[in-house]
Amino acid sequence: MSQKKIDKQMKQIEDKRAKGRIFKKDSSFLKTEENVFDVPTLKLLYTLSNKGFISELGGSISTGKEANVFYATGNEGEVAVKIYRINSSTFKAMDPYILKDPRFTHIRHSRKDIVFAWTQKEFQNLLRIGKAKIRAPKPITCDRNVLIMEFMGKDGAAYPSLKDIRMDDEDARRIYEQVIEDMRRMYVRASLVHADLSEYNILIDPENAEVIIIDVGQAVTLNHPNARDFLARDIENIKRFFKKYGISEETKDILERIKQKKEEDEIIELDEFDEEPVEPSESDEEEEEEEIGYDNIDDKRPNNTDK
Ligand SMILES: Nc1ncnc2c1ncn2[C@@H]1O[C@H](COP(=O)(O)OP(=O)(O)O)[C@@H](O)[C@H]1O
Ligand SMILES: [Mg+2]
């Protein structure tokens, strides 16, 4: 969506608000792409565009279970905008990852708060992962349910995921080694377990066949009570994928390699990015719903059947 279009939609909202004529159902015209653009999200995108992070919101890159990813350009160049849906029916699936994460025990547990914390967790995880010298999108900013990060692709096209590339056994072996090394760096340097690692969340830069790790919202620190199980699952996923390329390493050997410290490793302290969590920006969403509830609106539209 272009800046112009966002401006236009914002103006429509403002006009209606001024006339006291916003209805819950009115916001539905913004709910394209499966509810991504609810009114608060649209306002947030507007704010982010005022700050220059987004000057042109381009096409959808992906529609996932919990989030949509869009291509955009802004003052940081090409970016990917990941928008978590507040109304995602699968948000419950986030609970085990975030509720037991010692870094996030202070958050209130409403649906919205979980989604905001989740977005922030992905931002912080991307920082840690970048610092551990793992190739991953550089996080640019995050607010509420929106994360803006470096776009991993070329000329507006995202790099292919590992599942979509063709490779011979030799290429596969090199990529496998990179993946294991990234898991090791994540574990040893960043104290993180990805927890959703598979051929879907690994992109390949076709220029140099380099591995790029994405989708780290659910990654947990090693002190998370389920960290071991998540790591075991990640290893099994990677083993399963590479088996068809003739790679079969014992789980215990992989685990040993992942946990192995090397001289060049710089350990990132656990509290390094988590001392001052980014506060989500204010929204008048709640007040709005109260102020404009159906009861106190005199709706004169002819075909209104909502009363
Ligand atoms: N930074 C990025 N640059 C380019 N493409 C991206 C980026 N982040 C995500 N994508 C694309 O969007 C898809 C979904 O993103 P992901 O973070 O895995 O979300 P989901 O939780 O929906 O799986 C990815 O498979 C990839 O194709
Ligand atoms: Mg994914």
Distance CA 104, CA 117 (A): 7
List pLDDT tens digits, range 81-130: 999 988 765 556 676 777 777 777 666 567 788 899 899 999 999 999 99
Q: What does the domain layout of the chain look like in residue ranges?
A: 19-277
List pLDDT tens digits, range 93-105: 676 777 777 777 6
List pLDDT tens digits, range 151-187: 999 989 999 999 999 999 999 999 999 999 999 999 9
Please name the residue whose Cα sits nearest to atom 4 of ligand 1.
152
List pLDDT tens digits, range 180-226: 999 999 999 999 999 999 999 999 999 999 999 999 999 999 999 99
| pLDDT for position 172 | 98
- Calculate the alpha carbon distances from 89 to 11, 67, 74, 94 in Å: 30, 11, 31, 11
Catalytic member of 7, 215, 253, 295: 215
List pLDDT tens digits, range 229-239: 999 999 999 99
For residue 85, how many other CB atoms are within 10 A of its CB? Answer: 23
Bigger pLDDT: 26 or 264?
A: 264
Closest alpha carbon to 163 in 194, 197, 188, 189:
197
Extended strands (E) in 75-183: 77-84, 139-143, 146-150, 153-154, 157-158
Q: At the fourth CATH level, which superfamily is domain 19-277?
A: Transferase(Phosphotransferase) domain 1 (1.10.510.10)
The answer to whether residue 205 is catalytic is no
Residues with CB under 6 A from ligand 1: 61-62, 64, 66-67, 69, 80, 82, 137, 149-153, 158, 161, 201, 214-215
- Whether residue 24 has pLDDT greater than 80: no
pLDDT confidence tier of residue 131, bands split at 50, 70 and 90: very high
Average pLDDT for the chain: 82
pTM: 0.80
Please name the residue whose Cα sits nearest to atom 1 of ligand 1.
151
Backbone angles phi, psi at 124, to 5 degrees: -65, -40
Catalytic member of 38, 143, 182, 196: 196
**Residue to mutate, 61, 89, 150, ligand 1, most ligand atoms under 8 Å from C-beta:** 61
The answer to whether residue 38 is catalytic is no
Please name the residue whose Cα sits nearest to atom 23 of ligand 1.
64
pLDDT confidence tier of residue 294, bands split at 50, 70 and 90: very low
Distance CA 56, CA 5 (A): 10
Whether the CB-CB separation of 162 and 237 falls below 8 Å is answered with no
- For residues 22-38, give the mean pLDDT: 45
Distance CA 40, CA 83 (A): 12
Distance CA 295, CA 307 (A): 8
